[in-house]
Amino acid sequence: MWRWLATYALCACQATLAIPTIEIKGSKFFTSDGDQFYIKGKYSSRLNGYQLTRFQCNIDAPLIKDLGANVVRVYSVDPTLNHDACMKAFEDAGIYVIVDMSTPTYSIKRNDPQWSFELRDAFADVIDVDSTTAAPYAKAVVADMKAYRDLMQYRKIPIGYSAADLANLYELQQDYFACGNDSVAADFFAFNKYSWCSPSSFTESGYDAIYKAVDGYDIPVFLSETGCTTNDRKWEDQVAVLGREMNDRFSGNIIYEWSENENGYGIANYSNGVATGTPKLMADYTRLQSQWATLSPTGVKASAYNPSLTKRACPASTSGVWNVRADDALPTLGTSGWTAPTTPRQTGSGSAAAAAASVTAVAKESTPPGPSTESSGVSSGAIAGGVVGVGGSRVMAGV
């Protein structure tokens, strides 16, 4: 039943697609118009609070557009709800959506990693809307979600991984998720980085090291959460990431985070604490807006970009550091139990993240977002053009 609804939603919204889709070529994102795409994103966590309702998205989308953002990363969506109206609001504002695949109920847990049919199907529902030993499970999620996307004949919605801010591991993770053939490799890699505390610089923040580590990297990379609140944020980090220092290797970043709460990283203050209604825009909002207004990298045209990039080798295991062997099989489940549609699905907006024109899907662990936790995980991010809408009659445990 829900699949029928999803299909219906797709077709209904097809005609209204307002923004180009995002595609990957080599190590860069491009719009379907052929322009390079850089992420100026902001994160909406609010845990269960951010519900992507029509009412709230109609308020927020214009504010996010005025901020200068072009991507919203959403921590979780409830795939049993219909998000079409909200996705339409984002799409109309030219904002793409990256959806984390995990939900409060379904996620890969670091201490007890598993990849089960129940989880797999729960994550697939999200697509329809739009500790190192856990790594193979996370990568299996990526592989199986790509298989689902292709089985359903969705457009090539980018599906990748977002890692926690684990300084000693990210290079290994980076290579691990990029290695292997197209069936198993992540479409992109992203990681959280909380090391730029104003005033700082490319070198002082350690951004020089992360830049160096992706020399010749063959898939897009971006920062999936950034922030520091020791001092007022001056957002010079944006100049580094989106400017000359890094924009030939990085595809932008997602600042943490939109709504103000106890941890003090927000830039919009909803007085009621649950992120509904009209927020008061904080000084950080205005400062970020000014900074982003000066940063519009154009990069290269897809037509002029023909890189020869070498795949990363899967990292060798190192006892106590990286406990995954390069030739360990992934615990993939494949597509058994899923049925391909009889007619190709159009990839328009209005459907799930997957179907959407938007950006990404990210699978990650169940830990909450933010700098104080190690919220690494498989991030099935779908960068799509503003869409996560699922028509669903299925409840979470109903697989």
Ligand X SMILES: *[C@@H]1O[C@H](CO)[C@@H](O)[C@H](O)[C@H]1NC(C)=O
Confirm or reject binding of residue 306 to ligand X (CB under 6 A): no
Beta-carbon count within 10 A of 123 CB = 28
Confirm or reject binding of residue 17 to ligand X (CB under 6 A): no
Confirm or reject binding of residue 278 to ligand X (CB under 6 A): no
Smallest separation (angstroms) from ligand X to the CB of 184: 5
Given 203, 271, 278, 290, the residue binding ligand X (CB under 6 A) = 271
Is the Cβ of residue 90 or residue 177 nearer to ligand X in the bound state? 177
Question: Which residue shows structure tokens 């159009």?
Answer: 346
Confirm or reject binding of residue 308 to ligand X (CB under 6 A): no
Task: Give the C-alpha separation, 181 to 85, whole Å.
Answer: 37
- By CB under 6 A, which span of 20-28, 108-116, 181-189, 359-367 interacts with ligand X? 181-189
Is the Cβ of residue 93 or residue 179 nearer to ligand X in the bound state? 179
- By CB under 6 A, which span of 180-188, 189-197, 218-226, 300-308 interacts with ligand X? 180-188
Task: Give the C-alpha separation, 62 to 395, whole Å.
Answer: 31
The 10 Å CB-count burial string (b at 16+, else e) for 342-361 is: eeebbbbbbbbbbbbbbbbb
**Hey, is 193 helix, strand or coil?**
strand
Backbone torsion region of residue 51, taken as left when φ is above 0, otherwise alpha when ψ lies between -120 and 50, otherwise beta: alpha
Longest Cα–Cα distance of the chain, Å, equals 57
Confirm or reject binding of residue 361 to ligand X (CB under 6 A): no
Q: What radius of gyration do the chain's Cα atoms show?
A: 19
Q: Is there a cis peptide before residue 257, judged by omega within 30 degrees of 0?
A: yes
Is the Cβ of residue 18 or residue 282 nearer to ligand X in the bound state? 282
- By CB under 6 A, which span of 83-91, 150-158, 179-187, 237-245 interacts with ligand X? 179-187
Confirm or reject binding of residue 116 to ligand X (CB under 6 A): no
CA atoms within a 13 Å half-sphere pointing along the CA-CB vector of 355 = 33
Query: Pattern 85-104, binding to ligand X, x per CB under 6 A?
Result: --------------------
Is the Cβ of residue 283 or residue 340 nearer to ligand X in the bound state? 283
Question: By C-alpha distance, which of 68, 136, 130 is closest to 108?
Answer: 136
Confirm or reject binding of residue 179 to ligand X (CB under 6 A): no
Going from the C-alpha of 276 to that of each of 21, 112, 142, the distances in angstroms are 29, 35, 32
Confirm or reject binding of residue 324 to ligand X (CB under 6 A): no
Is the Cβ of residue 85 or residue 274 nearer to ligand X in the bound state? 274
Confirm or reject binding of residue 183 to ligand X (CB under 6 A): yes
Given 68, 79, 136, 180, the residue binding ligand X (CB under 6 A) = 180
Given 269, 335, 366, 367, the residue binding ligand X (CB under 6 A) = 269
Is the Cβ of residue 371 or residue 392 nearer to ligand X in the bound state? 371
Task: Give the C-alpha separation, 37 to 58, whole Å.
Answer: 24
What is the contact surface with ligand X in residues (CB under 6 A)? 180-181, 183-184, 260, 269, 271, 282
